[in-house]
Structure 1
Amino acid sequence: MAAFSLQSAHVGYQGDIVLGNLRSATSCDNCIWPKSDSGNVDVPYTLSSKYSDSEKKIILGAMLEFETLTCVKFVARTDQRNYIAIKPDDGCRSAIGMVGGEQEISLHRSGCLKKGITQHELNHALGFYHEQARTDRDEYVTIVTENINPDDLKHFDIVPTKNLGMKYDYESVMHYSSTAFSNKPQQATIVPRFNTSSTIGQRYGLSRLDVGKINVLYGCDVCSTLLPTPKGTVSSANYPSNYQDNTSCVWLIRTPSQRVLLEFEDFDVQSSPDCDSDYVKVYGGASRTAPVLLEKACGGIIPPPLMSSSNLMLLEFVSDGEVTGRGFKASYGTVQCGNTFHQPSGTFTSPGFPEDYLPLLECIWLITAPEGFMITLRINQLNVEYSVYCRLDYLSVFDGDGPSAPLIGTYCGSRENIVGTSSGTSMFILFHSDHSEQMSGFEASYQFGRFI
């Protein structure tokens, strides 16, 4: 339930559900969108011209997770008869499933334009009711009726959902928040019977079970995994045994905040010219249209660490029908800021340079050169809060791929043209700021050179 629609002048059934002439509140038979010959479920859409480019970007970004993880594809409408028309009307609202003809989804510009809220309304349009409306909801949550006005009790109706053989999902983007329609500030209207510490009603994005339910309802033949935690591991199927042939799988890493850092621990993928047979490919976003962080990789050499510029990273693995290997295993976590570099040269700065950096930063940069090359780093300008032994704000440079590598130097104060060289193929740079004085930071450049 979108929080905005609770305060909207137009409150539909269960807050944000529009009941059309052909839709009842208790049934959604024959309301799913048809599957095309390609196996995809194409949902045509239009976007109101009243949205700004940045607002459209939020909506299109919310659609990407459906397209990456399911067989549902939102396609710009040409002349299709049945389509969704997304408009900034009153509140956050949608009908259930495919109604027919032009089908409005309302996403008001004030309060509704967030990824999770957009995905919530799109999920309604795909045929899903609220999670706490499931037939079995009383086995999992308690509705605190004394905290709900009598006129609002209808928003907590149970509908005869099919549930698709899937577990109840406290983390679903379709679940009400714990205080939805409360008549007392901050008092719960929904209390989980299990996992009582669980946060319900998140609008961060689709949950793993949300994705699974879409794939079951629409019979999607896709190999996809959503990884929505701050850190974890990812590996090919059957690892460390050999992976299967003729596969095409994706893993979408979506951390709650900050940037994603991916580090491979093992890599054994069939080698072929240009890695055209079996390969791993990594993108810095939620889809294959995002910038490529790792071009097709195969063979037995472990790829370098990779960092996205956002909280999203997509890993793709493809195998053909011939030789297989162990596959891969990698771990991921988050960092506030920084980057990974594999190009022969480059320049990077502290966040915001030459403006003052922010307090309480922990940024990392990892530079990786090919075999046979070393790295020369030049800190062109440094203007960082000075302290004895550089214990407050500082820039540390390590001769290796992490903070456990030998320290080349730790720097603070105001300096220019500090030069350091690696003894191997990697260099790790850490920038730290505390809560007190902030300054302009640093600018640095690097270059690869052959070992003599």
Structure 2
Amino acid sequence: MYIPYPCQYLYLLENPALFEGDVMLKKVQWKHVLEDAYEELLEAEGKLNRTRVKRSILRKPDFTWKMPIPYFIETNVDKNLVRTSLQVIMQYTCVTFKEEKVKISNKAGLNIYKGEGCWSYIGRIYEKKPQKVSIGAGCSYQGIIQHEISHALGMEHEQSRPDRDKFLTINAKNIKDGTEAQFTRSSISDVNSFSIAYDYASVMHYDQFAFSSNNQKTMVPKMVEYDSTIGQYRRLSFTDVRLINQYYCQNRCNPKITNCQQNGYQDPKNCKVCRCPWGLEGKLCNVVKKTKFKCGSNELSATTTTKSLIKQGNVDCHFRIKAPMGSLIKINLINVVTQRFLPCWTGQGLSIKFRSTLAVGGAMYCGNYKNKTITTQSNFALIHYPGGSKNFGFQITYHSVKK
């Protein structure tokens, strides 16, 4: 079954009347956004040499959330799905929520209702009254609910980061007239990413066709390997969870663990162990994730001699390839056959993590691929093959190359 692109539900986050499609702003914030977008346009056309710093629009919420965060779900919203979505956030972070039996009116909290589309404010905006989160028609997906709740916790869109131009090309000619402000880039003074790397697999990242006027791409990854990755609305990524933990949970653990490996970090839910990037496990994240399937050796060594890795059928397997220090790994995708999806969600297709940090999501391959080449940015690579059918499989070759 081929899921054609663009999927209908992706447009639910593209309300042109809202900032970046799903963020509710105050009037003064909208004024600043439009002025900055106009100046960015003039600057791009060479008509303005910007000297002033962009205004701080969304840098900090007006007030800080206190735990547990009260929430109320109106009757026409899928209550079980909302509860499940919030439970995942509570499972992986120190953030807690408490469901109220009646609509919140006289204290801070979240009233979750079926409004027009999917949207939220960013961060806590009121001291003594609630704010709305809209889960409208078609928004009942766990990833979309977590996307909007993450906004309420203070998270912005990944494609709005100050460093996004290092990772994305914005195709202005394909953007709908009047929606150019939706692609405003935040300034460094606006956000705190806690030195977490840009993640194409973030649930906060829009898809390639967002606000397109002609069904052509408005955003293109500069790392071409991630062409099918952006637009993940299935679940929070490892870096999404880490960002929430960095903001809300920094003071939970004492003493600190500083020897987590492979970009893991101290787990605020269990301070004695590390929270590991997907595909790794163990107290210090130094073990490849094991499954119930017979996958063979999952620790592979890349040398100058070309080696092969082949898997076929409905097995779920993780592999780590390691080259000597000072070397990189060249991976050739000889053949990949998985179910075709676009975007290719984590857990649906072959995933290859090849960047300098293994914390970010991998390049995703859903469908049929032949003769593609990836060169890692470090001496490690993580591969996940989720199986799914006896007819699926992959074949790659790999060897070490000089840095």
Q: TM-score, normalised by structure 2?
A: 0.53
Do the aligned residues in 2 keep the contact of 1:139 with 1:193 (CA within 8 Å)?
Answer: yes
Deviation of the 1:176 alpha carbon = 1.0
Match status 1:28 vs 2:58: yes
Partner of 1:92: 118
Structure 1 gap ranges (5+): 224-235, 240-245, 256-261, 263-314, 318-325, 336-360, 365-432, 436-452
Q: Give the secondary structure class of the aligned counterpart of 1:85.
A: strand
Give the percent of matched residue pairs that are identical in Structure 1 and Structure 2.
29
Residue of structure 2 aligned with 1:19, choices 1, 25, 37: 25
C-alpha change, 1:29 and 1:363, in structure 2 (3 Å) is: closer
Partner of 1:57: 80
Match status 1:149 vs 2:172: no
Mapped to 2, the partners of 1:316 and 1:135 lie a distance apart of 34
Deviation of the 1:150 alpha carbon = 2.5
C-alpha change, 1:128 and 1:143, in structure 2 (3 Å) is: same
1:250-279 Cα shifts (integer Å, max 9, x gaps):
769989xxxxxx9xxxxxxxxxxxxxxxxx
1:364-400 Cα shifts (integer Å, max 9, x gaps):
9xxxxxxxxxxxxxxxxxxxxxxxxxxxxxxxxxxxx
Partner of 1:281: none
Do the aligned residues in 2 keep the contact of 1:32 with 1:126 (CA within 8 Å)?
Answer: no
Higher relative contact order (CA 8 A, sep 6+): 2
Partner of 1:132: 159
Mapped to 2, the partners of 1:29 and 1:249 lie a distance apart of 31
The code of the aligned residue for 2:12 comes to S
Mapped to 2, the partners of 1:238 and 1:156 lie a distance apart of 35
C-alpha change, 1:34 and 1:204, in structure 2 (3 Å) is: same
Q: Give the secondary structure class of the aligned counterpart of 2:71.
A: strand
Deviation of the 1:89 alpha carbon = 0.9
Bigger Cα Rg = 1
Q: Give the secondary structure class of the aligned counterpart of 1:165.
A: coil
The code of the aligned residue for 1:11 comes to A
Residue of structure 1 aligned with 2:220, choices 188, 191, 197: 191
More helix as a share of residues: 2
Structure 2 gap ranges (5+): 1-7, 34-55, 254-258, 263-269, 294-312, 317-388, 392-403
Partner of 2:130: 102
- Matched pairs, number: 250
Mapped to 2, the partners of 1:123 and 1:140 lie a distance apart of 22
C-alpha change, 1:2 and 1:253, in structure 2 (3 Å) is: farther
Do the aligned residues in 2 keep the contact of 1:47 with 1:86 (CA within 8 Å)?
Answer: yes
Deviation of the 1:92 alpha carbon = 0.3
Deviation of the 1:155 alpha carbon = 0.9
Partner of 1:181: 211
Partner of 2:10: 3
Partner of 1:205: 235
More strand as a share of residues: 1
Do the aligned residues in 1 keep the contact of 2:162 with 2:185 (CA within 8 Å)?
Answer: yes
Q: TM-score, normalised by structure 1?
A: 0.47
Do the aligned residues in 1 keep the contact of 2:61 with 2:124 (CA within 8 Å)?
Answer: yes
Q: Give the secondary structure class of the aligned counterpart of 1:93.
A: strand
C-alpha change, 1:142 and 1:330, in structure 2 (3 Å) is: closer
Q: Give the secondary structure class of the aligned counterpart of 2:194.
A: helix
Do the aligned residues in 1 keep the contact of 2:14 with 2:211 (CA within 8 Å)?
Answer: no
The code of the aligned residue for 1:107 comes to I
Partner of 2:141: 114
RMSD, aligned α-carbons? 3.9
